[in-house]
Amino acid sequence: MALKLHVDEKLIARARDAARNITGEVQAFIDQHTTTSTERAIVRLFGVEGKGLDEVPLPNLVVENIQDGGGLDRGAAYWVCNAMARHSMSPQEVAAAVGAGKLDLMKVAPVDDGRIHEMAIMMARETFDRIARNRSARKGFINQWGERPTPWLYIIVATGNIYEDVIQAQNAARQGADVIAVIRSTAQSLLDYVPEGATTEGFAGTYATQENFRIMRRALDDVSEELGRYVRLTNYASGLCMPEIAALGALERLDMMLSDSMYGILFRDINMKRTLVDQHFARMLQAQAGIIINTGEDNYLTTDDAYESANTVLASQFINEQFAHRSGMSDEQIGLGHAFEMDPRQEDGLLYEMADALLSRTCFPKAPLKYMPPTRHMTGNIFMGHLMDGLFNLTSVATNQHIHLVGVLTEAIHTPFLHDRYLAIENARYVFGYARHFFEEFDLKRGGLVERRAAEVLQQSLELLEHIEHVGLMSAIAEGIFARVRRRPDSGKGLDGVVTKASGYINPFFELGLKGGHR
Amino acid sequence: MVAIKSLMDEQAAAVDPQWIKPYGDTTNDGAVQLSFTLPVKPGGVAREAARQMCERMNLENVQVVYMKDLGGGYTFFVVYGRVKDFVDLSTIDVPEAQVPTWSMEQVNIIAREKLGRKITVVGACTGSDAHTVGLDAILNMKGFHGDYGLERYSEFNVHNLGSQVPNEVLAAKALEAGADAILVSQVVTQKNIHLHNLTQLVDLLEAEGMRDKVILIAGGPRITHELAVELGYDAGFGPGTVPSEVAAYVLQELLVRKGVAV
């Protein structure tokens, strides 16, 4: 338990209603569309792996074959299952034949629609069974060893080489990390395919591939066994391949994924229609897999002022929550993001940070909030940076944050050295332990500065949400409401991958996942 | 007391002020602190290895004040030592962009009166770089360190293209906007990819016949003026640069190019 903040519950309820309306309007659009990456995710969920002609991943070749033939509006599941039924082939055999240029899915004589549908549902059921087994494996480990106390220590590794990452990740776990996040290679979010195999070359990160996921999962399972506690694995789903990477995360038992409904739009200039459609399927898969998502509101504060723009963070958290609910996600899976980014020269900055962090805690009581360390005001003065991280750690334990990205003193200089990480974890463990129950001894002053700041941010967030409710989310993004970044509905990368569904469209995973058929 | 004072005077006089070495608490004590990790298990051998490592770095009176097991056969050290060598300030030459100290108001007035038109700048983090902190500090309305960003200047038109902009897109946008200056920010790097990005832009602008028509500026934590000039830029700005410095530099350069006395 942490400090208790008193705010007007009616305002919170009203903000949530506004966000529900905002996402409801967008959902109507989402439901009418699919995307190339959604369809490739379906192909992957059918178990397809590997590369075809010119080293192109088979899921891309399959979906390109269908899109070129003008059939994507019925969904990849329809065409793949049709070929499976017609030629008695497995999905992998179908994909390999397409990849080798020996099969054109659009030229396979159609079998009965009912049979295709039945087959698609059967395939999806098998996959969901596999995902359910992953989910119960995770649950088994946690039952066996117990759950970790919060805030969980979340540590990043990013060497570019998956085998080097394994060494760093196991070391970080031994030093106390509860969660390992493998940072992706820079710009992977803009690749319109998921690379294949184990990779050893990346820039400021390591490629997210199915094989890399497997390698790291195995390594963390080994170190979990060694330490007698379950070490969680995280990777990034956002980007042009959001649903595909979510699918791989679900298949390979990732425990968390960065998955934001708007991050790609704002920070990677991915087309908003593409991202909004993609995030729905990605999160439905994550919901099924029991994956905790991490949203990216912290990023707003790297381009916008943390004190002045706290309302954009809270408003976005409400929107992300509502989108996640629409994908069937429970509150316990929605790791809403925020950050400790105020100017260290600001008088009473600690008070405002505490107020903002408590406000998120209060508005989303069941959410495993993801709290991000200072980055913007880290200057290269590692001594000052270490102290700022200490106050960040104090705020986190005082306000009962859940997923705590451990701030490292060498932020803004280089990806952490081995001892940078040790010093950072030592700092966090020291503060968490030393102040563990301290804040339970205090009541916040009624009508005091913390309460007033929180009330003001909540009120401004509500006003912002009401504005977005009025103009619509797409227009609001075009106005530059979040992070001061402006994006138009028809600009950005990946719009050519957005397709309007036809009446015979099939996505068996939605049918099973969202209708509660396979919980 | 007298004896101590005269000793200090004598020491000070013996020192050529152009020759310096690190200062701890006594002139020319050469005191430095270091921290590093060695791939060895902690213990007497590790401690001695750390000490010898520092001697090879030309330190003397090495004290290993802290040793910590990081697990997996790695040990962390904190070390103090004294540097033997001096550096000679008189031989050091660091070129810096010559920038007048003008406030935002002064820049606006001078631009109106002497240039007589608005100044257009296009900025981007190029290549794979997703970190806009530096670019935003210079361009965004809010600015940096109490110094307003170029968007706030009445005489500047600013196009902030954001992160991960291909050099081709940046060049095309600069052409379309009729940019007077292009600002390129490079923050995160690995294996020196930032240098590749920066030189590729210069090549591209030259190929398009645009290089001489714009003021080309690089910025970022690893950028120095000297490096930027070497790469074919007009100027480079490192960490701690405030927007008014960039604004003043651009305006001054435009006036010089126009043949107007500054």
Over residues A438-460, mean pLDDT: 96
Overall domain count for chain A: 1
- Percent of chain B past pLDDT 70, that is, above it, reads 90
User: Is the per-residue pLDDT at A516 higher than 60?
Assistant: no
Residue of B nearest to A411 (CA): B188
CB contact under 8 A, B37 and A419: yes
Q: Is the pLDDT of residue A437 over 70?
A: yes
> Does A454 have pLDDT greater than 70?
yes
Average pLDDT, chain A: 94
Say what the pLDDT of residue B131 is. 74
Task: Check pLDDT > 80 for residue B262.
Answer: no
B98 lies in some domain: no
What pLDDT band is residue B89 in, cutting at 50, 70 and 90? very high
pLDDT at A43: 98
Given pLDDT bands bounded at 50, 70 and 90, which one contains residue A515? low
- What element of type H or E holds A153? strand A152-157
A417–chain B Cβ distance below 8 A for any pair:
yes
Whether residue B224 lies inside any domain: the answer is yes
Residue A66 lies in a domain: no
Choosing from B37, B56, B89, the residue where a domain stops is B89
Instruction: Give the pLDDT score at A517.
Output: 35
Judging contacts by C-beta atoms under 8 Å, the chain A residues touching residue B123 are none
pLDDT of residue B141: 79
Domain span holding position B247: 104-258
Say whether pLDDT at A519 is over 50.
no
E-strand ranges in A324-407 read: 334-335, 337-339, 370-372, 403-405
Judgement on whether residues B212 and B183 belong to the same structural domain of the protein: yes
Q: What are phi and psi of A182, to 5 degrees?
A: -95, 115
**A191 inside 8 A of chain B by CB:** no
Greatest C-alpha distance within chain A: 73
Q: Say if B87 is an interface residue toward chain A (CB within 8 Å).
A: no
Predicted confidence (pLDDT) per residue in A251-279, tens digit: 999 999 999 999 999 888 899 999 999 99
By C-alpha distance, which of A157, A332, A323, A340 is closest to A238? A323
How far apart, in whole angstroms, are the C-alpha atoms of residue A45 and residue A518?
Answer: 15
Domain for residue B10, yes or no?
no
pLDDT recorded at residue A42: 98
Are B170 and B55 found together in one domain?
A: no
Do both B119 and B209 map to the same domain? Answer: yes
Domain boundary among B65, B89, B113: B89
Using the Cβ of A379 and the Cβ atoms of chain B, whether some distance falls under 8 Å is answered with yes
Q: What is the pLDDT of residue A518?
A: 35
In the three-class reduction of DSSP (H, G, I as helix; E, B as strand; rest coil), residue A119 is classed as helix
State percent of chain A over pLDDT 90.
86
B253 lies in some domain: yes
Closest partner residue to A422 (CB to CB) among B36, B76, B129 is: B76
Same domain as B186, residue B129: yes
Contact B191, B209 (CB under 8 A): no
- Cβ distance A23 to A323 under 8 Å? yes
CA separation for the pair A287, A495 (Å, rounded): 26
Determine the residue among B38, B67, B70, B197 to mutate to test chain A binding: the one whose Cβ has the most chain A Cβ atoms within 10 Å.
B70
Tens of pLDDT, residue by residue over B158-199, are: 998 888 888 999 999 999 999 999 999 987 666 677 788 899
Confirm whether B94 is domain-assigned: no
pLDDT tens sequence across A461-496: 999 999 999 999 999 999 989 988 888 999 989 999
Question: Is A159 within 8 Å of chain B by CB?
Answer: no
pLDDT at A302: 80
* Mean pLDDT calculated for residue range A349-362: 98
Q: How many residues does chain B have?
A: 262
Chain segment A146-192, per-residue pLDDT in tens: 999 999 999 998 888 999 999 999 999 999 999 999 988 877 888 99
Is there a domain that residue A216 lies in?
A: yes
Mean of all residue pLDDT scores within chain B? 88
Domain count, chain B: 2
B50 lies in the same domain as B173: no
d(CA A189, CA A195): 11
A380 with B71: Cβ contact below 8 A = no
For residues B151 and B254, membership in a common domain is answered with yes
Distance from CA of B58 to the nearest CA of A (A): 23
Query: Which residue of A160, A413, A418 is in closest CB contact with B190?
Result: A160
Q: Is residue A201 part of a domain?
A: yes
Are the beta carbons of B71 and A175 separated by less than 8 Å?
Answer: yes
Query: How many angstroms away from the CA of A74 is the closest CA of chain B?
Result: 34
Residue of B128, B162, B190 with shortest CB distance to A485: B162
Looking at the predicted complex, does its ipTM rise above 0.90? Answer: no
User: Does B191 reach chain A within 8 Å, measured CB to CB?
Assistant: yes
A186 and B140 in contact by Cβ < 8 A? no
Instruction: Kindly list the residues from chain A whose CB atom is less than 8 angstroms away from the CB atom of residue B189.
Output: 204
Out of A268, A303, A419, name the one closest to residue B76 (CB).
Answer: A419
Residue B1 domain-assigned (yes or no) = no
A376 contacts in chain B (CB < 8 Å): 133
Of A174, A376, A418, the CB nearest to B37: A418
Which positions in chain B touch A190 (Cβ < 8 Å)?
164
Indicate which CATH number applies to the domain containing B139. Answer: 3.40.50.280
Rounded to two decimals, the pTM is 0.86
- For the question of residue A370 being annotated catalytic, the response is yes
pLDDT surpassing 70 at residue B9: no
Of B89, B118, B149, the last residue of a domain is B89
CB contact under 8 A, B70 and A418: yes
Residues B208 and B78 in one domain: no
Interacting residues of A12 by C-beta distance below 8 A, sequence separation 6+: A362, A363, A458
DSSP-assigned letters across all residues of A194-249: ---S-----SSS----HHHHHHHHHHHHHHHHHHTSPPEEEEE--STTHHHHHHHH
**Domain identity same for B31 and B152:** no
Give, in degrees to the nearest 5, the angle at Cα A335 between A332 and A340: 140
Q: Is A186 within 8 Å of B128 when comparing Cβ atoms?
A: yes
Q: Which pLDDT score, from 0 to 100, does residue B12 have? A: 54
Note whether A27 contacts B: Cβ–Cβ < 8 A.
Answer: no
Evaluate whether residue A373 is within a structural domain.
Answer: no
3-state class of A469 per DSSP? Answer: helix
> What does the pLDDT read at residue B191?
61
CATH number at residue B54: 3.30.30.60
Distance CA B262, CA B255 (A): 7
Residue A192 located in a structural domain: yes
Which stretches within B104-184 are classed as H helix? 104-110, 133-139, 167-177
B216 and B132 in a common domain: yes
pLDDT at B10 over 70: no
Residue B221 counted as domain residue = yes
pLDDT value at residue A212: 97
Is residue B25 assigned to a domain? yes
Backbone phi and psi for residue B227, each to the nearest 5 degrees, phi listed first: -60, -45
Most B CBs within 10 Å: which of A377, A418, A493, as the mutation test of the B interface? A418
Residue B172: count of CB within 10 angstroms of its CB: 14
Kindly state whether residue A162 falls inside one of the protein's structural domains: yes
Residues B85 and B108 in one domain: no
Element containing residue B125 per DSSP (H, E): strand B119-125
Chain A closest-CA separation from residue B144 CA (Å): 11
* pLDDT of A19 over the 90 cut: yes
Query: Is A157:A165 a contact under the CB 8 Å cutoff?
Result: yes
pLDDT for B246: 95
Contacts 24+ apart (CB under 8 A), B101-104: B101/B244, B101/B248, B102/B244, B102/B247, B102/B248, B102/B251, B103/B244, B104/B147, B104/B148, B104/B152, B104/B153, B104/B243, B104/B244, B104/B247
C-alpha distance from A277 to closest chain B C-alpha (Å): 23
How far off is chain A from B127, nearest CA to CA, in Å? 9
| Chain A partners within 8 Å of B79 (Cβ) | none
**Which position among B21, B114, B142, B213 bears the catalytic label?**
B142
Is B239 in Cβ contact with A302 (below 8 Å)?
no
Distance separating alpha carbons of residues A168 and A216, to the nearest angstrom? 11
Q: How far apart are CA A35 and CA A379, in angstroms?
A: 41
Span A290-330, pLDDT tens digits? 999 999 999 888 878 899 999 999 999 999 999 999 999 99
Q: Is A408 a member of any domain?
A: no
User: Which pLDDT tens digit goes with each residue over B230-250?
Assistant: 999 999 998 889 999 999 999
- Which of the residue ranges A132-141, A176-185, A416-425, B120-129 would you say has the lowest mean pLDDT? B120-129
Task: For residue A169, tell me if it sits in a domain.
Answer: yes
Same domain, B74 and B111: no
Angstroms from B15 CA to nearest CA on chain A: 30
Question: Among the options A78, A154, A207, A263, which is catalytic?
Answer: A263
Residues B68 and B173 in one domain: no
Confidence of residue B13 (pLDDT cuts 50, 70, 90): very low
pLDDT, tens digit (0-9, with 9 covering 90-100), for B24-75 = 999 999 999 999 999 999 999 999 999 999 999 999 999 999 999 998 899 9
Q: How many residues are present in chain A? A: 519
- How many CB pairs below 8 A link A and B? 64
pLDDT of residue B2: 44
Which structure tokens are listed for B174? Answer: 């600069």
Q: Contact at 8 Å (CB) between A353 and A395?
A: yes
Predicted pLDDT at A220: 98
Is B70's CB within 8 Å of A484's CB?
Answer: no
Q: Tens of pLDDT along A53-71?
A: 888 999 999 999 999 999 9
Q: Is the pLDDT of residue B6 over 60?
A: no
**CB–CB contact B71 A171 (8 Å):** yes
DSSP 8-state code for residue B151:
G
Instruction: Select from A160, A203, A376 the Cβ nearest to the Cβ of B133.
Output: A376
Print the domain residue range for A185: 148-228
